[in-house]
Amino acid sequence: MTDLYYNAKFFVGGSFADAVLVEDGRFVFVGGQAETFARHTGGAIVDLHGAMVVPGFNDSHMHLYGMAFVMERLALQDVTSVGMLQEKLRAYLHSPAYNGDFIAGRGFNQDFFDVKAFPTKADLDQVSKDIPIIVTRVCGHIAIANTAALLRSNIDESTLIDGGEIDFHTGLLTEKALGCLFTSDLGTTKDEVRRLLIKGMDYANRYGVTTLQTDDLMHAFPADFEKMIEVYRELDEQGLLTVRIRAQSNLPTLELLKKYIAKGYPNKVYSDRLKMGPLKILTDGTLGARTAAMSAPYKDDPATKGLLTYTDEELYDLVKTAHLANMSVAMHAIGDRALTQVLDAYERVLNEYPRKDHRHTIIHCQITTKAILERMARLGVYAAVQPVFIDVDMNVVKARVGNKLAMTSYAWKTMQDLGINVAIGTDAPVEDVNPFENIRTAVYRSNQSGRVYNRREKMSVADAILAYTKYSARQTRDENELGEIKVGHYADFAVLNRNVFKHLKNDAYPKRAMMTFLGGKRVY
């Protein structure tokens, strides 16, 4: 049977269609309303009442398990002082949500505090010295632990970790040091992970999201990445995946990567809904935490240049091993020093082992110079960016890196003009998986208060939607089946209650999708 959808504006790149036909999960006709009706031979006829229809959104980098996990933990996004943080922790301690064991909260941003400094171990000890308390910054790259949490984690003044830092006196941990906390080793069950993944997919569907390039492999089961793959496979086999999963495989050591390759996982396709994607590598921290690796000291903290999590040789070995296994590599890099290190590794490997269509990617790609972007273009390196980050970062970027570098950073339009494949994502749970605020920020480069940051680098609405759909699909070699309302492509689409080409400013943009379809089946 063939289903007909009509009376809508279907975004097809540079223009719009009036109606589509869907059969066996794919678009079989896209065009004018009269011609579409003439070709319809049976099946449902759906009037969309003048709605805007776009391809299903494809989040180019996020954490599905982490997003759902955080949804059920103590949220700290609204905290504006250490005192308010302490109040929230005390209230949680006496609430039904407290599990009687420890408290873990996430989402604070010290740049929004009245006194712009990180909370400390002593601050958390004032809430409780006996109950372990851990609060994680919104970026997920810094945490503060109280005395009880440090003791339970067997962390003392002599504890050292490569690729991370521990300040025992303040309780502050950065990057790989977060893996030393006892919460990283808490046991969980496949059933619990399954429940959270379903919850997260349902939440994403509300916003018209149909594909997630998700970094989950080492989060729920740090000692066994195959368990997470098993959970996804079971959900797929049972028909419970309501998004297409493209797994970004975060394998932080050469040993784990070689095991992954030996088991035959690279580029493995289980179904149209489940596919193994690139090797994911984390090379530095974040701008807000001042752990992003910079080539010069931070302007507002000259004592630090941030942190690289790998040596040049360690990174080269990981990239080479993945590259020779015909994998693509997607590396988190925010600071200009980290971006340079990543490009050095990519260029060295590509010179030694040329591969035209490698699709190696830099995730975030924030603090850049024109020379860095030109080098990315020359090497054919993709960019997976999060425009919504500037909602917060515009308040600190000049103070962190100086005006000159700030004005060549978050340079999405320049990337596109240079021919770099730019794909949009959210890095959820760092930001909400909602694509509409992301698109609004890409187009207007303004925050909710109306403050604007370097408007020269704004995207057009069409380019932002294409970056969220067509160009995001390219990142995982899905461009022949996903990302467009086009004959032969899977019928993944979102029905919106407003024309996003006219109503994107502030409260006028859509809050969620009206309907979401995956393979022609309604999932929201």
pLDDT tens string 410-436: 999 999 999 999 999 999 999 999 999
186 versus 23: the higher-pLDDT residue is 23
Q: Is the pLDDT of residue 508 over 80?
A: no
Confidence of residue 188 (pLDDT cuts 50, 70, 90): confident
Q: Is the pLDDT of residue 507 over 70?
A: no
CATH number, position 366: 3.20.20.140
Mean pLDDT of all residues belonging to the chain: 95
> Residues 112-151, buried b or exposed e (16+ Cβ, 10 A)?
bbeeeebbbbebbeebbeebbbbbbbbbbbbbbbbbbbbe
Closest among 449, 439, 432, 434 to 412, alpha carbons compared = 439
pLDDT of residue 363: 99
Confidence of residue 155 (pLDDT cuts 50, 70, 90): very high
Q: Are residues 423 and 299 in the same domain?
A: yes
pLDDT of residue 112: 87
Give the residue-averaged pLDDT of 111-126.
94
Residue 245 burial (10 A CB sphere; 0-12, 13-18, 19+):
buried
Query: Which of 185, 220, 249 is the endpoint of a domain?
Result: 185
Is residue 85 one of the residues assigned to a domain? yes
Radius of gyration of the chain (CA): 23
pLDDT of residue 448: 81
Q: Are residues 417 and 449 in the same domain?
A: yes
Calpha distance 523→513 (Å, rounded): 11
Is residue 125 one of the residues assigned to a domain? yes
Give the residue-averaged pLDDT of 235-247.
99
Query: Which of 127, 158, 185 is the endpoint of a domain?
Result: 185
Calpha distance 388→272 (Å, rounded): 29
pLDDT of residue 501: 86
pLDDT of residue 100: 86
CATH number, position 25: 2.30.40.10
Q: Are residues 397 and 296 in the same domain?
A: yes
Amino acid present at 280: K
Count how many residues are written for the chain: 524
Q: Is the pLDDT of residue 185 over 90?
A: no
pLDDT of residue 72: 87
pLDDT of residue 222: 82
pLDDT of residue 17: 98
Is residue 261 one of the residues assigned to a domain? no
Calpha distance 103→132 (Å, rounded): 6
Q: Are residues 93 and 3 in the same domain?
A: no
pLDDT per residue as tens digits for the range 262-288: 999 999 999 999 999 999 999 999 999
Q: Are residues 73 and 162 in the same domain?
A: yes
Least trusted range by pLDDT, from 98-107, 192-201, 248-257: 98-107
Q: Is the pLDDT of residue 13 over 70?
A: yes
Q: Is the pLDDT of residue 504 over 80?
A: no
Is residue 251 one of the residues assigned to a domain? no
CATH number, position 149: 3.10.310.70
Is residue 269 one of the residues assigned to a domain? no
Q: Are residues 359 and 432 in the same domain?
A: yes
Q: Are residues 370 and 429 in the same domain?
A: yes
Q: Are residues 175 and 323 in the same domain?
A: no
Is residue 472 one of the residues assigned to a domain? no
Q: Are residues 174 and 114 in the same domain?
A: yes
Closest among 288, 276, 334, 346 to 309, alpha carbons compared = 334
Q: Are residues 343 and 426 in the same domain?
A: yes
pLDDT of residue 458: 96
Q: Are residues 361 and 503 in the same domain?
A: no
pLDDT of residue 445: 95
Residues with Cβ within 8 Å of residue 171, at least 6 apart in sequence = 120, 121, 122, 124, 144, 145, 146, 147, 149, 150
**β-sheet bridge partners, residue 244:** 211
Is residue 312 one of the residues assigned to a domain? yes
Query: Which of 157, 185, 213 is the endpoint of a domain?
Result: 185
pLDDT per residue as tens digits for the range 205-219: 999 999 999 999 988
pLDDT per residue as tens digits for the range 59-96: 999 999 999 998 988 999 999 999 999 999 999 999 99
Residue 366 burial (10 A CB sphere; 0-12, 13-18, 19+):
buried
Q: What percent of the chain shows pLDDT beyond 70?
A: 98
Confidence of residue 183 (pLDDT cuts 50, 70, 90): confident
pLDDT per residue as tens digits for the range 399-416: 999 999 999 999 999 999
Q: Are residues 378 and 514 in the same domain?
A: no
Is residue 160 one of the residues assigned to a domain? yes
pLDDT per residue as tens digits for the range 450-484: 899 999 999 999 999 999 999 999 999 999 999 99
State the residue range of the domain holding 327: 283-459
Domain count, the chain: 3
Closest among 282, 339, 336, 344 to 309, alpha carbons compared = 282
Confidence of residue 97 (pLDDT cuts 50, 70, 90): confident
